[in-house]
Amino acid sequence: MIHTALLVAFTLVGLAVAFAFWRLLHGPSAPDRILALDTLYVNTIALLVLLGIHLDSNIYFEAALLIALMGFVGTVALCKYLLRGDIIE
């Protein structure tokens, strides 16, 4: 039951990663690419958690937490750069 659900979920989230990647490469503007990166990291968290369920292992949670933290800081820093042309003022 869970196995089938995981298979479906891996396919869907994999496609979602592909879409985000397409937007990352295609642009056309800088905020679009930031949005694509943002989506990409959230998708990656989902993939990691799904992998954790699949392998029955709890250790992927720490990686997911770290990606969430770093991804948010990265998005904020990139937006700040676009807004001010500088990150640390």
The residue ranges that bind other proteins (CB under 8 A) are 1-2, 4-6, 8-13, 15-17, 19-20, 22-23, 29-32, 34-36, 38-39, 42-43, 45-46, 49-50, 52-53, 56, 58, 61, 64-65, 68-69, 72, 75-76, 79-80, 82-83
C-alpha–C-alpha distance, residues 42 and 81, integer Å: 21
Q: Phi first, then psi: what are they for 56, rounded to 5°?
A: 55, 40
Q: Cβ 88 to other proteins, closest distance in Å?
A: 16
Q: Cβ 51 to other proteins, closest distance in Å?
A: 10
Q: Which residue stretches of 1-89 are H helix?
A: 2-26, 30-55, 60-84
Structure tokens belonging to residue 73? 């800081």
